[in-house]
Amino acid sequence: MFQSLPVTQQHSPGSDSDGNDQDHNRSSIVLPTPKVFGLTDSPENKDHPWYISPQVPTDLLVQVQGATFAVHKLSLISKCGYIGRIELNLSKSDSGYNIKLENFPGGSETFETVLKFCYGFPVGLSPSNVAALRCAAEFLEMTEELEDGNLIYKTEAFLTFVVLSSWRDSITVLKSCESLSPWAQNIQLVRRCRDSIAQKASRENPNTGDIVNNESWWFDDVAILCIDHFMRIITAVRANGTKPETVGSCIMKYAEKWLLSMDEEIGVRRYGSGKNELQWNISSGGKQEGTAHHKEHKIVIESLVSILPSQNEGVSCKFLLWMLKMATIYLVSPALIFELEKRVGMTLENANVDDLLIPSYTIGDQGMPVYNPSFTEEYTAHNIGVVQRILEHFLMHEHQQQKPIKPGISKLLDNYLAEVARDPNLSVSKFQALAETLPENARTCDDGLYRAIDIYLKSHPKLLEHEQRRLCKVMNCEKLSLDACMHAAQNDRLPLRSVIQVLFAEQVKIRAVMQGKDQAGNGENIDQEHSWLSTSTEITTLRVELEKVKLQMAELQRDYSELKVDYDKLHSKQRSLPTWSFGWKKIKKSSIFHRRTDIEESEDAQQRSSPDNNRARFRRRKSIS
């Protein structure tokens, strides 16, 4: 039996009796076996082929991964059932029989250790080599039927009594199994290690022995495993009743280790020079390497998304948006992208603008960025459609929960609009559709929306006037603060109709303030965040300036009426009056005159149509300064 073997068990310093390591050292044992008669004390390497110096010439050449081993057939047949079964089919050459072991688990290094065991040399077992030796023993059929205490038995004993009782040793063995597929799966070694790890992660801290359920002592260890092993462990941990916050924190830790480097490699500068085209900075190798990385990254992203806790407290909104960005860039399953968009919509109030800036390109099979026209109608820098769908999910969720829309959401959207408004490829229709996603009552103040519109107009100077008017329709001038109204009244980029509406709204607000009322924002106080006008002196000054403008326009209106009457009288006697015609046209072109006309129309009934394009070109924006 294994217990009666003359073995030496060596525990590393800091390990307790249960095999729970307190540092990175590993447990190991040395298996001494009786020496084969006539062999030297140790194997000798003779250049490339592995060579052992015996008294009896070797009669078998074994090739493993390009390495050649000159051995004795009898030494292997006595312990390896596989060699015995194929003995009759071995081909013989001048150097003896030849055999080539294809796909040998562990490669030539592991086979050399197996040879040492077959020849009777001491073999050390440790967590770093036991998995490969166990798979190699299974490959060579080194069972107890051939010899008591054969390699399968001894490696199994080491795994059972040493490895699986230790947290770190189980991690080490499971990590080594990644290169031993499918042998490690067939002998259930992977499953046993994963179950052991999951049980310990759900139950106790190996460094303290405390019963814990929400600490992160095991996150770093499991983060080194491949995605398949990690998923199985997380599934088992969750089945053991671990809290969603703990599971989510572990997933975020794993994503940080495996995906953060991807996010750094996919560097995008928002707007370049010249034609304002996007410029990428991708750190990738050749086509084959790029393709391999693309597939690997896509698998990791899809796997992590599929095991996210369903509870909102499981992972943060910031992490969900980061995963959504990676998912859209690497074109993962549409169902997973939809699920991420829905999850983000349920926690959108915790997002910020930078998290919502999702690129509008994907990573192709060659590992290079390409535009995806299915995302947007235009080649915009950011994926506007994703954000619009997130908002729709948010509104649906809030409606189902019968919750009022919080002001923070409108602020978030307006700041996002201000950010993407600089994109020269963003159309008016896209901007308008996104701005109107929120219902009108969701905004108590339109200052942020006005800022976004102003940035868009500044970044798109070639807009036609009807496009400008269409854009400004999104904004409600009655919801602008006094400071915003002042800015808009002097803004040459706004169409004249919008300026008239702003001036009318400004007068209403000034009257309300003077009467001790505040009608801004549907009965709410003026937005204090922007430090708007608060002193009575400033308000009085504005009122005086407006009255002056009214007087000037009234005077011009009277002059115009008198001139027109005189003109009509003279016109009936004479067809052409150059002097009067010149004077009348000069007055007619006065911007103050038209400003007066527009204000009267808006203030009285707001029913007359806006001035024509010629008057819009000459409007005067210095009424308020």
pLDDT of residue 604: 46
Which range (249-253, 521-525, 596-600) has the least confidence? Answer: 596-600
pLDDT of residue 592: 41
Is the separation of the CB atoms in 496 and 610 below 8 Å?
yes
Q: Which residue has the higher pLDDT, 14 or 443?
A: 443
Retrieve residue 300's tokens.
């990791």
Burial pattern 366-403, b for ≥16 Cβ within 10 A else e, equals ebebeebeebbebebbbbbbbbbbbbebbbeebeeeee
Residue 204 DSSP class: B
Instruction: Say whether pLDDT at 613 is over 60.
Output: no
Is the separation of the CB atoms in 447 and 411 below 8 Å?
no
What value does the CA radius of gyration of the chain take, rounded to a whole number of Å?
Answer: 40
User: How confident is residue 289, by pLDDT bands cut at 50, 70 and 90?
Assistant: low
pLDDT of residue 583: 46
DSSP SS3 for 61: strand
What residues contact residue 420 under an 8 Å CB cut-off, 6+ apart? 357, 380, 381, 382, 384, 426, 431
pLDDT of residue 217: 83
Q: Which residue has the higher pLDDT, 549 or 71?
A: 71
What is the rounded CA–CA span in Å between residue 79 and residue 62? 15
Burial pattern 556-577, b for ≥16 Cβ within 10 A else e, equals bbeebeeeeeeeeeeeeeeeee
User: How confident is residue 534, by pLDDT bands cut at 50, 70 and 90?
Assistant: very low
Which range (398-402, 498-502, 525-529, 535-539) has the least confidence? Answer: 525-529
Q: What amino acid is encoded at 355 in this protein?
A: D
Is the separation of the CB atoms in 190 and 184 below 8 Å?
yes
Query: How many C-beta atoms surround the C-beta of residue 268 within 10 A?
Result: 17
Is the separation of the CB atoms in 60 and 72 below 8 Å?
yes
What is the rounded CA–CA span in Å between residue 150 and residue 80? 9
> Over the stretch 419-458, which tens digit does the pLDDT of each residue have?
999 999 999 999 999 999 998 888 989 999 999 999 999 9
> Over the stretch 466-510, which tens digit does the pLDDT of each residue have?
999 999 999 998 899 888 888 888 888 998 888 888 888 878 777
Q: Which residue has the higher pLDDT, 314 or 625?
A: 314
DSSP SS3 for 45: strand
Retrieve residue 301's tokens.
């992203």
pLDDT of residue 131: 96
What is the rounded CA–CA span in Å between residue 377 and residue 279? 20
pLDDT of residue 180: 92
Q: Which of 373, 337, 368 is nearest to 266 (CA)?
A: 368
Average pLDDT over residues 603-622: 39
Instruction: Say whether pLDDT at 8 is over 50.
Output: no
Burial-class residue 433 by CB neighbours within 10 Å (0-12, 13-18, 19+). Answer: middle
User: How confident is residue 65, by pLDDT bands cut at 50, 70 and 90?
Assistant: confident
> Over the stretch 310-320, which tens digit does the pLDDT of each residue have?
888 889 999 99
Q: Which of 24, 19, 29, 22 is nearest to 166 (CA)?
A: 19
pLDDT of residue 395: 94
Average pLDDT over residues 546-566: 74
Q: What amino acid is encoded at 607 in this protein?
A: Q
What is the rounded CA–CA span in Å between residue 383 and residue 380? 7
pLDDT of residue 589: 47
Is the separation of the CB atoms in 66 and 50 below 8 Å?
no
> Over the stretch 558-584, which tens digit does the pLDDT of each residue have?
877 887 777 777 767 665 444 444 444
DSSP SS3 for 267: strand
Is the separation of the CB atoms in 376 and 266 below 8 Å?
no
User: How confident is residue 227, by pLDDT bands cut at 50, 70 and 90?
Assistant: very high
pLDDT of residue 51: 53
User: How confident is residue 68, by pLDDT bands cut at 50, 70 and 90?
Assistant: confident
Average pLDDT over residues 380-396: 93
Q: Which residue has the higher pLDDT, 531 or 359?
A: 359
What is the rounded CA–CA span in Å between residue 355 and residue 326? 12
**Cα 65 to chain center, whole Å?**
41
Q: Which of 302, 173, 310, 340 is nearest to 247 (CA)?
A: 310
What is the rounded CA–CA span in Å between residue 509 and residue 518? 7
Instruction: Say whether pLDDT at 396 is over 60.
Output: yes
Instruction: Say whether pLDDT at 25 is over 70.
Output: no
Burial-class residue 528 by CB neighbours within 10 Å (0-12, 13-18, 19+). Answer: exposed
> Over the stretch 186-197, which tens digit does the pLDDT of each residue have?
999 999 999 999
CA angle 585, 588, 592 (to 5 degrees): 145
pLDDT of residue 58: 79
pLDDT of residue 11: 33
pLDDT of residue 225: 93
Average pLDDT over residues 199-206: 70
User: How confident is residue 201, by pLDDT bands cut at 50, 70 and 90?
Assistant: confident
pLDDT of residue 172: 95
Instruction: Say whether pLDDT at 16 is over 90.
Output: no
pLDDT of residue 75: 87
Q: How far is CA 283 from CA 139, 255, 267, 277, in A?
A: 41, 19, 9, 19
Retrieve residue 142's tokens.
């080194």
pLDDT of residue 186: 93
pLDDT of residue 431: 95
pLDDT of residue 284: 40
CA dihedral 251, 257, 259, 261 (to 10 degrees): 160
Which range (55-69, 168-182, 432-446) has the least confidence? Answer: 55-69
CA angle 598, 599, 600 (to 5 degrees): 90
Instruction: Say whether pLDDT at 334 is over 70.
Output: yes
pLDDT of residue 419: 95
